[in-house]
Amino acid sequence: MSRSGQGPKQRLKTAKGRKVSSTRWLERQLNDPYVKRAKAEGYRSRAAYKLLELDEKFGLLKGLKAVVDLGIAPGGWSQVVRRRSPQAAVAGIDLLPTDPIDGVAILQMDFMDDEAPARLREALGVEHADLVMSDMAANTVGHPQTDHLRTMALVEAGMEFATEVLRPGGAYVAKVLAGGADNNLVAALKRHFTTVKHAKPPASRKDSSEWYVIAQGFKGTPPSSGE
């Protein structure tokens, strides 16, 4: 991956009223090669390169016809999908507002809302998806165990949705925290998918606790048993 544009590091003077941590964050953004590259290549966030790197390793974006983007804001992942598979139907959801993306149906609502799965399927406009991707993370409260549990609840909800909407052979990709998906979730994913792996793409900052779980080869929804 190109690391062009690596000039002298820029430093910010700590302005009155700005926390030291905020100044550090701004300095990191100014000096981040992925942030610079995203601006140059028209992506809304550096997160676009996480998906591109995961695709390079796992071949997630080949021949897509329908994709669901959970936690779409600000839209970098859906931008990647539209550039790689411009013919694909894409539907996304987020609590935060997301500027329109050509060819993407965007819902501003909580994915944990009971109505969200049906609304997403309606927005997608086709019966089955090839890929469900989730960059969702729960708002942190500063208590590591609580933050982990809240994020894992989103990952599990995403998995349940994926098993309802994916076509056989489809894939589910989701952000998890340090340590990856727990044993129960991995076991559940292995029941539904032929391969389940963890990865930390290079675009994921080294000091970040995020990893991704990649479940591929959806086995299909088992037939419901009769009463």
Q: Tens of pLDDT along 95-148?
A: 999 999 999 999 999 999 999 999 999 999 999 999 999 999 887 777 777 777
| Residue 220 reports pLDDT greater than 80 | yes
User: Is 20 part of any domain?
Assistant: no
Question: Which pLDDT tens digit goes with each residue over 160-174?
Answer: 999 999 999 999 999
Q: Take residue 16 and report the two structure tokens written for it.
A: 């009155």
How far apart are the C-alpha atoms of 218 and 190, rounded to whole Å?
9
**pLDDT value of position 165:** 98
- Strand order of the β-sheet with 129-134 is 104-108, 89-94, 66-70, 129-134, 166-176, 211-218, 193-199
pLDDT (0 to 100) of residue 23: 53
Q: Is the pLDDT of residue 157 over 50?
A: yes
What is the SS3 assignment for 171?
Answer: strand
Could you tell me which residues are annotated as the binding site? 75, 77, 94, 110, 135
Query: Tell me, what's the pLDDT at 109?
Result: 96
| Domain annotation covers residue 16 | no
Tally of structural domains, the chain = 1
CB burial of 95-134 (b: ≥16 within 10 Å; e: otherwise) equals: eeebeebeebbbbeeebeeeebbebbbebbeeebbbbbbb
Cα 16 to Cα 13: distance, rounded to the nearest angstrom: 9
pLDDT computed for residue 12 by the predictor: 47
**Annotated binding-site members for S-adenosyl-L-methionine:** 75, 77, 94, 110, 135
With 70 as the cut, is the pLDDT of residue 223 above it?
A: no
Residue of higher predicted confidence among 221 and 201: 201
Instruction: Tell me whether residue 128 is in a domain.
Output: yes
User: Residue 107: which CATH number?
Assistant: 3.40.50.150
**Assigned domain for 13 exists:** no
For the chain, give the mean pLDDT. Answer: 86
In a domain, 115, yes or no: yes
Asked if residue 151 belongs to a domain, the reply is yes
Tell me the two tokens of residue 151. Answer: 């994020």
Spacing of C-alpha 31 from chain mean position: 24
- Is 5 a domain residue? no
Asked if residue 6 is part of any domain, the answer here is: no
Q: Hey, what amino acid is at 67?
A: V
Whole-number pLDDT of residue 75:
97
Set 36, 50, 175, 200: catalytic member: 175
pLDDT tens digits, one per residue of 25-80:
455 555 578 888 988 888 999 999 999 999 999 999 999 999 999 999 999 999 99
pTM of the model: 0.83
Residue 3 has pLDDT above 50, yes or no: no
Question: CB of 68 within 8 A of CB of 91?
Answer: yes
Q: Is the pLDDT confidence value at 224 over 60?
A: no
- Can 175 be counted among the known catalytic residues? yes
Print the domain residue range for 128: 45-218
pLDDT over threshold 90, residue 200: yes
